[in-house]
Chain A
Amino acid sequence: MNAIDLHPPARSARVARHYLALLGRHRTVVVVTLTFFLGMLSTLNSSGFLGFEGVVPLMALLPLVQWTTSVRRGEIDHAMPLDRVRHELLQVAAGAAWALLAMLLPLALVTLLALQWNLFRTGHPATGIAWIPPVLLLAGLACYLLGAAAWLRGARSGLLLCAFYGLSLVPVALLGPRWGHVERILSLDAPITPAEGVAGMVAAALAAAAAGAVVWLVAAGPRWRPRVGSRAVPARRPAPARPAGAPPAADARRRPARPHAVLWSELRLLRGPTLVGVAVAVACTLWLVPGILRTQPPALHVRGFLTVVRTVAVWWPVVVWLRGRGPWRRRLEPLPVGALALRLSRVAAGAVSLEAVVLAAILAHLAGGGPRLAAPASYPGVACGALLLYLVCSFPLVLARDHVVGWSVAWVCGMLTFGIPVWTLFAPPGVLSPGAALSVFSLHPVAWLPAILLWTTVVAALLVAATHGGVLGDRDGPHPFAAR
């Protein structure tokens, strides 16, 4: 040691407090937290906690919103006087505190209302009322921690989404034939003995602890994770040699890129996510759902397949536009093509790639040998319905080039938990109603074709207008949603 007085490193408690406050000031985080809150509140009805089973796994996406709302972490973020592992664990802990808060309030409210409802209905509280809320809280925490682990491991949003797709089916895989029993427990219809309640809590606590251990392992495993700047820069491909004797084309007449060339370029950019999407959809459809739910009624097989397609469709815009945020995109632009055409080409390429994924899922479903849709004509309806959902969920993403991940996730989560259910619930019923269009994702679809055609056209037209607005807004300056 030499004579220089050493400055102390950062104190963990101060940094943790700082991150808690920082996330509290992050408008996107607050909005997404509120979205979760509203999504859970929207499950308020006589079916107890049943609605939470769809919302709690979404906690795995919260880290994506909290920590990857801007460009990747730079050297200036890493050069902090705090041990890297501890730094990352503190970030996860601060984010988890917000995740718990997001779940705690609606859970408390639903618990209170369920308590009152059962007292009113039966004269005594439901037996599960003491056990279910902490189990759900711990399960949500486990989901958040697994999502955080994926974020730490890859810092890649696409990887996180894939991890989420896979992880969301783990409970189904583990519970298998008992899933229906879980649904009955959550709806407070089935009684729970104290032993079952304790077992459930222990299981959820173990799941949360295991997820915490995964986070620690991921943060502490430096060899698993390339350090900043240690990724080798791939060598540039040499430019194709000009044929000998060919004159330079400096004076050649220039023209914009042809639309089909732009579309093809966008499709090529999406080939990676498409392949991953196909793999995930086929795996979920072919292996998990029919395999695990073999002993369940045939309706559950079909419902599982439809859920896979619907989930892929609503998240696909995020996958498409995240792909457009990388440095490879910035290297490509500006291209000799209009901004509107480029953005619409991306939407179209996303639609084409999504249909490829849906087609793969349908083929896997048909090849799986399980029960099929009641009407074979519904399969094209599923593909069309996926396109409609994709277009509906694309709105926040077409509004600007550097779209904000948090808003996109908030929009999709909001549509999933709030918008689409409300849309189908309150729109006037009829042949042309939105409910008829989205009935392709139900076990007993009504006449869907006119409604799908109408709403796909309407949404596509609105999307073109929104894209135009996004281009205009982009030229005026930063994205209006980019303000925190």
Chain B
Amino acid sequence: MGLSFLPTRVGDTPLAVETRGVEKRYGGGAAALAGLDLQVPEGAVYVLAGPNGAGKSTALKILLDLVRADRGEARVCGLPTTRRPALVRAQIGFVPEVVETAYGWLTAREFLAHHAAFYATWDAGYADALCQRLAVPLHARVESLSKGALRRMALVSALAHRPAVLLLDEPTDGLDPLAREEFCALLVEHLTTAPTTVLWSTHHVHEADRMADHVGVIQEGRLVMQAPRDTVSASLRRYRAQVPPAWTGAPGLNGDVLLREGAGREIAWTVWGPEREVASRLEAAGAVVRDALPLSLEEATLALLRAGREG
């Protein structure tokens, strides 16, 4: 089953992050990215969801020019990432998936001062406030920090220079629920004070549910779907219906069905399309539609990933 009916272009809006046909293959192995066309509008909170190994981290590394693409082009704030990487990185705040540094012998305060030396727009007062808010142990050596404390410190280093673009690579991985909540609250607070585009790569989509206004689902190095959150909410629904015996489906609709669940006369189909049109087609085929439930971001992502895998 093809998923070509799903949107993969955001539309004519200024983009803060953009990739065109980016391909990357590591050491002759399987393709990490196979023609990625990412479009993150300015000011968006874009959630890039996908399973492990889908190419999310590679995409972020290409945006930072830590990894060079084999083919294609990436731009951040309109700047090609490979031409002026230093200028590109000056626009970006980055929280890596694994906070690993060669400067483990520094204290957290010194580590942040180390970062401050590189960013002309570093706001020391804001950094202090963030450290206080996140309870970063400033006098402890970086190598002795727990995973959560490392994440919090990395978040401070990413936010304190008020970047135009924030790249978060599984930022809440390994954090306890309280810390995750605090992280999300802090991010919301930051977004209200500084205009920032957020590209949030995660497989814990529910954490980004409150903030996300754009969603991209990546699988095997390619975008399955990319759309504003509102579009996804309006177009992707689970239809529960009662169907007559020996029902063969709804003509004209089968191509847009992502998932077929249910057994016997009770079905639960996840379908992409305008609700009214989908419901009328189902009813025209003899089904009695009980309800059309909107999906949460996580449910939508899961449905898209499962459809992509089965397709």
- Contact, CB under 8 Å: B87 / A81: yes
- Contact, CB under 8 Å: B144 / A8: no
- Contact, CB under 8 Å: B103 / A77: yes
Chain B residues near A196 (CB, 8 Å)? none
- Contact, CB under 8 Å: A79 / B89: yes
- Contact, CB under 8 Å: B99 / A9: no
A28–B161 Cα distance when bound, in Å, is 30
- Contact, CB under 8 Å: B42 / A4: yes
Known: A14-B117, A76-B100, A77-B101. A229 touches B67 (CB 8 A): yes
- The answer to whether B200 has its CB under 8 Å from any CB of chain A is no
Nearest residue in B to A483 (C-beta to C-beta)? B141
- Contact, CB under 8 Å: B119 / A81: yes
- Contact, CB under 8 Å: B85 / A228: no
- The answer to whether A205 has its CB under 8 Å from any CB of chain B is no
- Contact, CB under 8 Å: A478 / B117: no
Chain A residues near B305 (CB, 8 Å)? none
- The answer to whether A321 has its CB under 8 Å from any CB of chain B is no
- Contact, CB under 8 Å: B94 / A75: yes
A76–B106 Cα distance when bound, in Å, is 14
A81–B122 Cα distance when bound, in Å, is 12
Chain A residues near B293 (CB, 8 Å)? none
Interface string of B163-181 (1 = CB under 8 A from A): 1100000000000000000
Nearest residue in B to A70 (C-beta to C-beta)? B104
Interface size on B, residues (CB 8 A): 54
Chain B residues near A67 (CB, 8 Å)? 102
Chain B nearest CB: distance from A78 CB in Å? 5
- Contact, CB under 8 Å: B102 / A227: no
Chain A residues near B245 (CB, 8 Å)? none
Chain B residues near A478 (CB, 8 Å)? 141, 143-144
Known: A79-B64, A484-B141. A68 touches B86 (CB 8 A): no
Known: A4-B16, A7-B90. A484 touches B105 (CB 8 A): yes
Chain A nearest CB: distance from B15 CB in Å? 7
Chain A residues near B154 (CB, 8 Å)? 76
- The answer to whether A82 has its CB under 8 Å from any CB of chain B is yes
Interface string of A238-280 (1 = CB under 8 A from B): 0000000000000000000000000000000000000000000
Chain A residues near B57 (CB, 8 Å)? 229
- Contact, CB under 8 Å: A1 / B101: no
Interface string of B80-97 (1 = CB under 8 A from A): 000001111111101011
Among B24-32, B126-134, B277-285, the stretch in contact with A = B24-32
Closest 7 pairs between A and B when the two form their complex, measured CB to CB? A232-B27, A74-B100, A81-B90, A18-B117, A9-B86, A70-B104, A10-B118
List 7 additional contacts besides A79-B64, A84-B85; criterion CB under 8 Å.
A6-B79, A6-B91, A7-B121, A7-B164, A71-B101, A74-B99, A79-B94
- CB-defined A-B contacts under 8 Å, sample of 26: A1-B77, A2-B42, A6-B77, A6-B79, A6-B91, A9-B90, A10-B86, A10-B90, A10-B120, A70-B103, A71-B101, A73-B102, A76-B100, A79-B92, A81-B92, A82-B89, A82-B118, A83-B85, A227-B67, A227-B68, A229-B57, A230-B26, A230-B27, A230-B67, A232-B28, A483-B141
